[in-house]
Amino acid sequence: MVGRLKIYHSNIPRESIIAEREAVYLNKSAEQKFYALLHLNHISVKMNGGKPLKSPQGKGLVIRKPSVSAGCTKLDIINRSDV
């Protein structure tokens, strides 16, 4: 499954773009939505140098932002069961 990029003219109202995208999404089957999600995940790993954006940590998903310091950022812990 190959995605496509659609470029919109700046004069088109944002609401009509949102409505068009929603209609396309709602017309897809569950299988098509699932494979599109897998394809998006594959692309994100490629763009991140082969490293996944999310990694299992035992207690939920931890999304890490590459940082220079050892301090925590807002993106360090998102979905922790112990929070």
Per-domain residue ranges for the chain? 1-50, 53-83
Q: Write the CA distances from 75 to 34, 49, 53, 61, 70, integer angstroms.
A: 25, 19, 11, 11, 13
Q: What's the confidence (pLDDT) of residue 66?
A: 67
pTM of the predicted structure, to 2 decimals: 0.49
> Whole-number mean pLDDT of the chain?
77
Full strand arrangement of the beta sheet holding 60-63: 54-56, 60-63, 79-80
What are the phi and psi torsion angles at 79 (to 5°)?
-125, 75
Residue 55 has pLDDT above 50, yes or no: yes
